[in-house]
Structure 1
Amino acid sequence: MNAPATPELPVVVIGAGPVGLAAAAHLLGRGLEPLVLEAGPVAAHAVRQWSHVRLFSRWAEVIDPAAEKLLAPTGWTRPEDDTCPTGGDWAERYLQPLADALGGRVRTGVTVTGVSRAGRDRVVDPGRAEQPFVVHLTTADGREERITARAVIDASGTWATPGPLGADGLPALGEKAAADRLSYRLPDLRDPAVRARYAGRRVAVVGSGASAFTALAGLAELAREEPGTHAVWILRRGIGAHTFGGGTADQLPARGALGLAAKAAVEAGHASAVTGFRTEAVERDGDGRPVLVAGDGRRTGPVDEVIVLTGFRPDLSFLSEVRLGLDERLQAPALLAPLIDPNIHSCGTVPPHGVVELSHPEPGVHLVGMKSYGRAPTFLAMTGYEQVRSVAAALAGDRAAAERVELTLPETGVCGGAGLFDRPEAGQASDGGCCAAPETLRTGAGTPPAASGCC
């Protein structure tokens, strides 16, 4: 949908990550002027925070076509298509060169604090559609600025707002007090200081996605080198045939291999899994070690560290004065939510989508990238690239191109989600399938006995 504001104004893109930078490239290709605002000190700041993590997508799947076209005159060398980069590789070999090619159109160290229509709060109707957007921001040195824009593309992601340990979506009782023993990011076990934190320790890993798989595989490798290291894998659902993803059937082989590595960690006895465990509280033993307590009264027994990998959620606070149409559960655009809802999605694909699914009651505002998924998982970079291709076409007035699908996605290799997946009535009731009833799983030899509780 075309933004009604004056066309000489820039399109403000919030976030200089993979999708935000791709949005700028697509806008330039359409003759529109982008201005990318990045809160971090450098482009791709969030990606650099997980520079040690290897993507399960290949280079061919994480380079945007419009961005590559922009890079071509700079002498940029495209990495080999069939290799999987780390976050650090992605940032240094593609995202930073892309930001450099965009030049002054990328501003770093500026935090967006609000978006509104000029002179109109979200309540006011008269004259609203004729007004440009005003983006409020704060610079790194504390100065306040206002930027007028014809449209706003929010590609700020969700990295800054990880999900809490508490299963009800709020911090568990005692979670904040135990912050010294909790981490909400994948640890870089190659870093000597980080390695020392987990080596020889009993570590709870909370989560059931790719990040949890990565943590389990890394801790298993550490256990082989540092005796006494053991992971306690905390799942809110049951263990079944599809818990570890698509395996060899996954069309993204590295993602399938990740799930198999996590499964091997359990089978080798480097990790024990506790299923159907919904954390309600964090207590401390006499030595100050955390003990996780479930709503049904079960306790993990003392652990030395807790790695919380329960997903991310969008920060919508700075969009409070524009009119968004969001799904009440996922906090994703209302038309997109049914396509990605983990309550009903199982094995299969998320269909490519664009401006139609990403539009809001406020014309000219679009949430893209991981931000558009709200609280839903399994986002792929190529999905975001298709989103911004479509949005840029719409802002340029090319509705036909905006509504055309130009992407084929690989199968996700993931079965089920955070909601109905773990309810017996949603599938196989108790036969060990993907919707099995909660159970405690221990396989392999050498699993150390728990000090107390179920594991």
Structure 2
Amino acid sequence: MSLSESGAFPVVVIGAGPVGLAAAAHLAERGQDYLVLEAGEQVAASVAQWAHVRVFSPWRFNVDAAARRLLETDGWTAPDPQWLPTGAELISDYLAPLAKLLGPRVRLGVRVTAISRLGFDRVRTSGRADAPFLIRTATGEELQASAVIDASGAYANVLGASGLPAYGETGNLIDHALPDVLGADRERYEGRHTLVVGAGHSAATTLLALAQLEDAQITWAIRAGSPGRTYGGGEADALPARGALGSRLKEHVASGRITLLTGFYAHSVHADGETLRVVSRDPSGAEQSVTADRVVSATGFRPDHSIASELRLDLDPILGSTRALAPLIDPNQHSCGTVPAHGADELAHPESGYYAVGVKSYGRAPTFLMATGYEQVRSVVAAITGDWEAARHVQLDLPETGVCSSGLAEAQERRVGQATGISGSLLATQLPLITADGGGCCG
């Protein structure tokens, strides 16, 4: 019997976001000892960074089943299942109450810096499976675990076009992903020239928000020769909100409100007082540049597996997910709603008892949904506790093509519009296609 099966040490969950807390709920429901370590000073610290953003999936797909059962036993009332929550609502109405219920097993402000096996580096094999995991934190504390569920999320991709950071990329004039342009961060952008780099829906959402600032100058830079992928299908798009997002962006570019630069390969960043000059160098060596007051790098996300460098991982060389999962989530073949159900078998590594789950498990694939993450941890927890029949019985409850259903999108657009007074193209700026774990959806 391995340590994971004997339960000699707790299962350690890294990250107290939606998927990490769902894992804790499943562990609690099965009577398994566990500990959740969250690097931030609050629950779901990553979600809090985009608290102003309304997610694209309604509440019915954003609450884990085990978490719901625990909360309802404690008297919790679920939000309207058809409502599209903001990141702030996701925390206040669901994740914070769940963490409070889980109590002191959720530890905040604990950053994990390394995971290994007690007494074993990556090379040693004999007796390895019987050794507990060793978890080291930024304060020097060391913990032991029977299994590790890594739900620490993904991190902002680099600005550089070749997958490497652009020279001089560091600095506080560069923001990532989804700043609160019309709210808390308004003063940083109003009356200034902002360069937005990226062709995804996070970039589009930021651009549309900037366009609402009357005196803001906006430049949009993409590597592609055409913005067609970002514009989408317009009125013919299977996702009306996505189509509206692209159509409105196209109008702003056509009118000159937003200046579009194509074939832009960010190579270097040069600070000049309070401005930045970003230089593009394309594969032929041709250069172009733009000088701006602020730069928003909306170039996607990537996982960081460095804390597990002493574990035996089998990662797909392209996506950075497990090799077994990669063909199931490949964005060249799948959207968020066509990813098949998967669980412990597809998430397993040669290092028995270690699982990366949630958006981190998807590597660079932008096809992650919270619902798939919840099914992941249900299966993984079942496997850790020895219930392999439940672990291998994986299924997803998604409408038609997931939350990529046009009927669902239309219904949600009407509901949010009625409740907020926002309608038409402006509503598209409030419905970025991201999930509450920060991964992309359907893009």
TM-score by length of 1: 0.81
Q: Does 1:88 align with 2:88?
A: yes
Matched AA of 1:204: L
Matched AA of 2:383: A
Aligned to 1:175: 169
Q: Does 1:23 align with 2:23?
A: yes
Tell me the matched-pair count.
401
Q: 2:266 aligns with which of 257, 269, 279?
A: 279
Which consecutive residues of structure 1, in runs of 5 or more, have no partner in the other structure? Answer: 415-455
TM-score by length of 2: 0.83
Cα separation, partners in 2 of 1:249 and 1:98, compared to 1, 3 Å: farther
Structure 2 Cα separation of the partners of residues 297 and 59 of structure 1: 48
Structure 1 Cα separation of the partners of residues 304 and 272 of structure 2: 35
CA positional deviation for 1:18: 0.4
Secondary structure, in 3 states, of the residue corresponding to 1:302? strand
Matched AA of 2:146: R
The superposition leaves residues 42-89 of structure 1 with CA deviations (integer Å, 9 ceiling, x where unpaired) of 111111111111111111111111111110122222111111111111
State whether residues 204 and 307 of structure 1, in contact with CA within 8 Å, keep that contact through their aligned partners in structure 2: yes
Cα separation, partners in 2 of 1:315 and 1:284, compared to 1, 3 Å: closer
Aligned to 1:339: 328
Aligned to 2:440: none
Q: 2:373 aligns with which of 384, 395, 409?
A: 384
Secondary structure, in 3 states, of the residue corresponding to 1:208? coil
Q: 2:182 aligns with which of 172, 190, 215?
A: 190
Aligned to 1:216: 207
**How do 1:29-40 residues align onto structure 2 when only pairs under 5 Å count?**
29-40=29-40
State whether residues 35 and 106 of structure 2, in contact with CA within 8 Å, keep that contact through their aligned partners in structure 1: yes
Structure 2 Cα separation of the partners of residues 273 and 43 of structure 1: 38
Secondary structure, in 3 states, of the residue corresponding to 1:239? coil
CA positional deviation for 1:382: 0.9
Which consecutive residues of structure 2, in runs of 5 or more, have no partner in the other structure? Answer: 406-443
Structure 1 Cα separation of the partners of residues 274 and 12 of structure 2: 51
Secondary structure, in 3 states, of the residue corresponding to 1:301? strand
State whether residues 250 and 413 of structure 1, in contact with CA within 8 Å, keep that contact through their aligned partners in structure 2: no
Aligned to 2:160: 166
Aligned to 1:128: 128
State whether residues 135 and 147 of structure 1, in contact with CA within 8 Å, keep that contact through their aligned partners in structure 2: yes
CA positional deviation for 1:305: 1.7
State whether residues 112 and 137 of structure 1, in contact with CA within 8 Å, keep that contact through their aligned partners in structure 2: yes
Structure 1 Cα separation of the partners of residues 336 and 357 of structure 2: 23
CA positional deviation for 1:21: 0.1
Secondary structure, in 3 states, of the residue corresponding to 1:243? helix
Structure 1 Cα separation of the partners of residues 261 and 119 of structure 2: 54
Structure 1 Cα separation of the partners of residues 370 and 158 of structure 2: 24
Structure 2 Cα separation of the partners of residues 347 and 20 of structure 1: 20
State whether residues 267 and 278 of structure 2, in contact with CA within 8 Å, keep that contact through their aligned partners in structure 1: no
State whether residues 256 and 413 of structure 1, in contact with CA within 8 Å, keep that contact through their aligned partners in structure 2: no
Aligned to 2:78: 78
Secondary structure, in 3 states, of the residue corresponding to 2:219? strand
State whether residues 2 and 394 of structure 1, in contact with CA within 8 Å, keep that contact through their aligned partners in structure 2: no
Aligned to 2:396: 407
Q: Does 1:154 align with 2:146?
A: no
Secondary structure, in 3 states, of the residue corresponding to 1:110? coil
Matched AA of 1:155: A
CA positional deviation for 1:374: 1.4
Structure 1 Cα separation of the partners of residues 318 and 281 of structure 2: 23
CA positional deviation for 1:204: 1.2
CA positional deviation for 1:13: 0.3
Structure 2 Cα separation of the partners of residues 377 and 364 of structure 1: 26
State whether residues 16 and 44 of structure 1, in contact with CA within 8 Å, keep that contact through their aligned partners in structure 2: yes
Aligned to 2:111: 111
Secondary structure, in 3 states, of the residue corresponding to 1:333? coil
Secondary structure, in 3 states, of the residue corresponding to 1:266? helix
Aligned to 2:304: 315
Aligned to 2:424: none
Aligned to 2:68: 68
Structure 2 Cα separation of the partners of residues 130 and 365 of structure 1: 13
Structure 2 Cα separation of the partners of residues 249 and 19 of structure 1: 33
Structure 2 Cα separation of the partners of residues 397 and 109 of structure 1: 31
CA positional deviation for 1:11: 0.8
Q: Does 1:355 align with 2:351?
A: no
Structure 1 Cα separation of the partners of residues 137 and 261 of structure 2: 45
Aligned to 1:292: 279
Structure 1 Cα separation of the partners of residues 63 and 18 of structure 2: 9
CA positional deviation for 1:377: 1.6
Q: Does 1:13 align with 2:8?
A: no
CA positional deviation for 1:220: 1.5
The superposition leaves residues 234-254 of structure 1 with CA deviations (integer Å, 9 ceiling, x where unpaired) of 112243654334666767655
The superposition leaves residues 210-268 of structure 1 with CA deviations (integer Å, 9 ceiling, x where unpaired) of 2112101111222xxx23x2322211224365433466676765555444443443344
Matched AA of 2:74: T
